[in-house]
């Protein structure tokens, strides 16, 4: 069985790179981007998560993020998130790169973690660039204001069409470059290139690529082992 093989490889691996996407939080009832439930008031994420949308109507974009933030903050990490914490604790070398902004990885206890697309609980001043917790901001007319600069703040989230913040991908790239024994990709469609490239890079440098996903995606054809199913069920079996 492939899960037994993957379990053995994972328990023997001294270095592990994990890349997660929205699917790992699906069993925490957070809708994925491209699946059902990804719409809000008839808008697709691609229509709201852009600098242009914010410029046009910051109040609308903030309203969407406040709705999403409530969903994320009310959600609880699921057994998939917890399994990755156990994996981190026992792996001599480990890094978790997540595309998710829902905060469930840090809340479940992941520490060797990079949230490459930002975090739903943080805002950034459009004038100074200062990043601060949303709860420290001031709401005025449906938008958040940075109390230090009295200027409009935006969600500290990487939007469509924006470049990755400097340094965000470095730790993952360094590890992939140096070579990891196993790269585990969980719950991502692989549609966004930099995180998908991390996994492919790790594979090129010799890593065994294991994917956990109920559906085929862009990375599946490159996976050495595809564990077809929901991560909340499969990750606990895989990690043990």
Positions in 139-158 near ligand OAD (CB under 6 A): 158
User: Applying CB under 6 A, which of residues 125, 225, 230, 239 lies at the interface with ligand OAD?
Assistant: 230
User: Applying CB under 6 A, which of residues 107, 214, 236, 237 lies at the interface with ligand OAD?
Assistant: 214
CB of 22 or CB of 208, closer to ligand OAD: 22
CB-CB contact of 94 with 88 (8 Å): yes
Compute the distance between CA of residue 81 and CA of residue 67 in angstroms, rounded to an integer.
Answer: 23
Decide: helix, strand or coil at residue 92.
coil
Site string for ligand OAD, 177-206 (x = CB under 6 A): ----------xxx-xx--------------
| Sequence-separated (6 or more) residues with CB below 8 Å from residue 57 | none
Among the residue ranges 66-74, 104-112, 134-142, 214-222, the one whose residues contact ligand OAD (CB under 6 A): 214-222
Compute the distance between CA of residue 193 and CA of residue 38 in angstroms, rounded to an integer.
Answer: 20
Query: Using N-to-C axis directions, what is the helix angle for 170-178 and 193-204, rounded to 10°?
Result: 20
Compute the distance between CA of residue 91 and CA of residue 206 in angstroms, rounded to an integer.
Answer: 18
User: Applying CB under 6 A, which of residues 18, 27, 125, 144 lies at the interface with ligand OAD?
Assistant: 27
Binding site for ligand OAD (CB under 6 A): 21-24, 26-27, 32-35, 49, 99, 117, 158, 187-189, 191-192, 212-215, 217, 230-232
């Amino acid at each position: 069985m492939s899960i037994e093989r993957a379990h053995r490889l994972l328990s023997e691996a001294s270095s592990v790179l994990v890349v997660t996407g929205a699917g790992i939080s699906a069993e925490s009832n957070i809708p994925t981007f491209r699946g059902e439930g990804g719409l809000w008031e008839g808008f697709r994420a691609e229509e709201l998560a852009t600098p242009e949308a914010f410029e046009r109507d910051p109040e609308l974009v903030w309203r969407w993020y406040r709705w999403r933030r409530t969903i994320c903050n009310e959600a609880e990490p699921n057994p998939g998130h917890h399994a990755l914490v156990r994996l981190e604790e026992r792996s001599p070398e480990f890094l978790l790169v997540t595309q998710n902004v829902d905060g469930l990885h840090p809340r479940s206890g992941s520490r060797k973690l990079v949230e490459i697309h930002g975090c739903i609980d943080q805002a950034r001043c459009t004038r100074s660039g200062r990043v601060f917790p949303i709860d420290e901001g001031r709401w005025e007319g449906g938008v958040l204001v940075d109390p230090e600069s009295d200027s409009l703040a935006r969600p500290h989230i990487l939007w469509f069409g924006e470049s990755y913040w400097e340094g965000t991908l470095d730790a993952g790239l360094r590890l992939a470059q140096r070579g990891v024994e196993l790269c585990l990709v969980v719950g991502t469609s692989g549609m966004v290139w930099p995180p998908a490239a991390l996994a492919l890079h790790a594979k090129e440098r010799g890593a065994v690529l294991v994917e956990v996903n109920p559906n085929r995606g862009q990375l599946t054809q490159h996976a050495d082992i595809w564990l077809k199913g929901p991560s909340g069920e499969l990750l606990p079996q895989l990690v043990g």
